[in-house]
Every structure is written in C-alpha cells, then in structure tokens.
Amino acid sequence: MSIWKTRAVVACIATMGLMGAAHAQKAEVIHWWTSGGEAAAIKEFAAAYTKAGGTWVDTPIAGGGGAAARTVIINRTIGGDPPMTAQFNYGKQYEEIIKEGLLNNLDDVAAKGNWDKILPEKIKSQVKVNGHYYAVPVNLHNENWIWYNKAVLAKAGVTKDPANLDELFAALDKVKATGVTPLALGGQGWQENIAFRSILIATGGKDLYLKTLKDKDVSGPGFKKAVENFKKLKSYIDPGSPGRDWNLATGMVIDGKAGFQLMGDWAKGEFINANKTAGKEFGCFMAGGANSPYSIGGDVFVFPKNKDPSSAATQKKLAEMMISPAIQVAFNNKKGSIPIRTDVDLSGVDICAAGGVKAVKENRLVEGIDDLLSPDVKGAFEDAISKFWNSNQSADDAVKAVASALKL
C-alpha cells in the first residue's frame, strides 16, 4: 500500500481528535467542485467532518470556472446569510469581504498549527492579509500543465514529451494526421485564458509571464509572438469546442478522442477518477519545459461571520481538519494537486505530482493571475484574450486591446 493510501486510511482517525462533539454542528459548504474528480476530492472533507459527528451540507454551484459560486458567496455574505465556509482561489477574490469585516480570522488556528513554518512563503502571502490569516489553504495547483493520451501519441509516432513549442506543434500535426482531434479545448473564457497563459510561459518563460501580468507591459516582440502562438492552436481543435466544460475536454483525452489538453492539474483528478495511471495511460509535462515556472493556483476556504456565536468554534475545527496532514494527503490524492503543507511525506506521489513537488523545492513558484491582477483588470484582460481567440482580430490589434485592459 502506498504512503498516500496509508495516510488516507488514518485520516478520519486523526480528524476525530480535532473536533469535539460540542462543536460538531451543521456546516453549509459552498464550492464549485462538480466534476467527477473534484466531487471525489471534497468527499474526503465531508467524510472527515461526518465521522467527527458533524453534518456536512454540500452546496455545489457550477459555472464560469467558479465565478457563479463566488458571486453567490459574496452576495450571501454581504446580505447577512453566509454559509459556514466557502471556497475561493488564491489571490484577491475575497478582499472585498475582508475589507467589510465579514470574515473571521484564523490566527489562533494558524498559531496552533504553526502555519508560519509549514506553509510555503508565497502561499502565506496569499492567505495572510494585514497580518491576519483569513483563509485556510488546502492545495497547490499549477495551471500550465499539458496532458496527453499515451496510446494516441504512440499511434501518431510521438515518442517523447515535447520540450518546446516547436515540438508541441509538430506533435499536434502528427496527431492531426491520424484523424484524431489534436487538442481538446473547452471553449469558455477561463479555459481559453489558461491555454493562453500556458502559451505565454512556453513562449517567453517566467520573464515574459511576469512582464505581462506583473509589470503590465506588453511591448516588445515577446508578447505578440505569444499571441500568434496562441492563435495557432485554433487549427487543432474540433468544432464542438465552444461552450464545452473543461472536464468533458479532459474526458476526450481519457477516451482517446483527443491527443492533448492544456489545463491545470485538477485535470489529473479526472484521470484518477477514471482509474488511469500517470505514466501508463496518460502523460504530463509543463508548458514551459523542464524548468518551467510553476504558476501558483489553488483553493482556500474562508469563514464568514455568522449570527450563531458557536459557529466560530465550528469554523476553526473545520479549518484544522482541512489542513491536517492526513486529510491533506487524502484530499489532494483525489484532487490532482499537491498538499499545501511542506511537512508531509510525498515520496509516494505519481510522476505528475512529483514534477510539482520538484518545482516547489526548487522555488520555481510564481504568482498566479488572481494575485497579480485585480478582479476588474483580470476580467478585462481575459475578455481581450477571448475576443482575439473567437474573432478574426489581428495579433497587433489584440496586443493593443490587452495593453488597454491592463491600464484599467
């Protein structure tokens, strides 16, 4: 039995010690994890809470890469009807409700759990605002992964992972020649933008990525070249792409109906849920090559202030459970991500997760778009990219549109 599976077995036992019966009450949890792999992952949290005597009330809200759920969460919290806990991504998404004084901080939980020591430095800055912890981080995702079906590539004569964009385009051409869809893409704005940011990294590495999103500078040939490379992908998708959900695109790769997908490592949860093994039925590599920057993504849970005074104690116990070593291993084993803690044994992870662990150890982490851009600027940036993808707009005009969006 692997280390991860062994730890999963003891997960619920560990959680029993975290949560006393006095605090085991009904807990509504709003999230957007609705795909097969995601649902399997959050069931690890729900099972642990239930085993401890609580009642987990699951409120999944699909749509828009989490945008629909975040709107409900913010509106309910501001409106005085908050859930017990709710999901957000790293970055600036929940700054508004912090500023409004509507979130409980987790400082005592963090002190007890030694978060200052066990969390990676770049993650602490994501969840610690004005000196206070307002969210519990539960995983570390990287969005610039490329997934592929090994049998499809073998049939096409692709014998190794593409090391750069030229090799990727060559591999896509070979798959196309076999009659299989080369690239599975869900035609939704957030998916198109993940694909673009992966191409941005593959085109110019960390320097171009940060120049664009941190410095908000798209001058020079690098960004235009990334825009052109991105549009080149259009010739490899199928007519059913527009509006397709991301997990259905992953399913195309799983089923051998497509060769590649550009998607964050939550896609791996779908492969796992389909009983596929990394390195056997599917493969993975980062868009930027062996030394690719690891674009920080991931999920946190926040804890809105509730009218019931006992809620705060329940929320703290939920936070302790979510970040506890055993639950971290069990949850992330299903989610496709890697644990947020630096003190758990990861020697038994698969080859894809091992690549993520290596990136963390080598300090190749870079901030994700949600941390680099405000929600308004991010929205304008992503709208500009999607407009370019879905129209006949020239690369030059797209660069101008992105430059204007970044000035908001």
101 pLDDT above the threshold of 50 = yes
Sign of CA dihedral 308, 310, 315, 316: positive
Cβ neighbours of residue 161 under 8 Å, at least 6 residues apart? 283, 285
Distance CA 310, CA 304 (A): 13
pLDDT digits (tens, 9 = 90+) for 322-362: 999 999 999 999 999 999 988 888 888 899 999 999 998 89
Cβ neighbours of residue 6 under 8 Å, at least 6 residues apart? none
Q: Strand, coil or helix: what is 280?
A: coil
Average pLDDT over all residues of the chain? 92
The Cα-based distances of 190 to 318, 355, 370 in angstroms read 30, 24, 12
CB 259 within 8 A of CB 181: yes
Please identify which residue in the block is written with the tokens 């020239």: 394
Going by their DSSP bridges, the two strands 26-31 and 55-60 should be labelled as parallel
Q: Which amino acid is at 143?
A: E
DSSP 360-386: HHTT-EE--HHHHS-HHHHHHHHHHHH
pLDDT band of 8, cuts 50, 70, 90: very low
373 pLDDT above the threshold of 70 = yes
CB hemisphere CA count around 235 (13 angstroms): 11
Burial class (CB in 10 A: 0-12, 13-18, 19+), 142: buried
Nearest-CA neighbor of 34 among 66, 63, 68, 62? 62
Q: Name the residue with higher pLDDT: 375 or 8.
A: 375
Check residue 121 and give its pLDDT: 84
pLDDT digits (tens, 9 = 90+) for 128-166: 999 999 999 999 999 999 999 999 999 999 999 999 999
Asked whether the domain spanning 145-292+373-406 has the same topology as the one spanning 3-140+297-360, the reply is yes
Cβ neighbours of residue 261 under 8 Å, at least 6 residues apart? 146, 147, 148, 183, 184, 185, 249, 250, 252, 253, 267
Distance CA 332, CA 272 (A): 11
Distance CA 335, CA 299 (A): 11
Backbone angles phi, psi at 147, to 5 degrees: -110, 150
* Highest-confidence segment of 7-21, 262-276, 342-356: 262-276
Distance CA 286, CA 292 (A): 6
Distance CA 14, CA 7 (A): 10
Going by their DSSP bridges, the two strands 282-286 and 135-137 should be labelled as unpaired
pLDDT band of 388, cuts 50, 70, 90: very high
CB 283 within 8 A of CB 161: yes
pTM: 0.88
Check residue 24 and give its pLDDT: 55
261 pLDDT above the threshold of 80 = yes
132 is written with which tokens? 């206070």
6 pLDDT above the threshold of 60 = no
Exposure pattern of 185-219 as b/e (b: 16+ CB <10 Å)? bbbbbebbbbbbbbbbbbbbbbebbbbbbeebebe
Q: Which CATH superfamily is domain 3-140+297-360 in?
A: Periplasmic binding protein-like II (3.40.190.10)
Please identify which residue in the block is written with the tokens 């506890």: 324
Q: Which CATH superfamily is domain 145-292+373-406 in?
A: Periplasmic binding protein-like II (3.40.190.10)
The domain locations on the chain are: 3-140+297-360, 145-292+373-406
Check residue 309 and give its pLDDT: 87
Strands (E), 114-232: 128-129, 132-133, 135-137, 141-142, 145-149, 181-183
18 pLDDT above the threshold of 80 = no
How many CB atoms are closer than 10 A to CB 407?
Answer: 9
pLDDT band of 306, cuts 50, 70, 90: very high
Backbone angles phi, psi at 221, to 5 degrees: -75, -20
Distance CA 365, CA 359 (A): 7
Please identify which residue in the block is written with the tokens 């730890």: 7
Determine what percent of the chain falls in helix, strand and coil, rounding each to the nearest 5. 50, 15, 35
22 pLDDT above the threshold of 60 = no
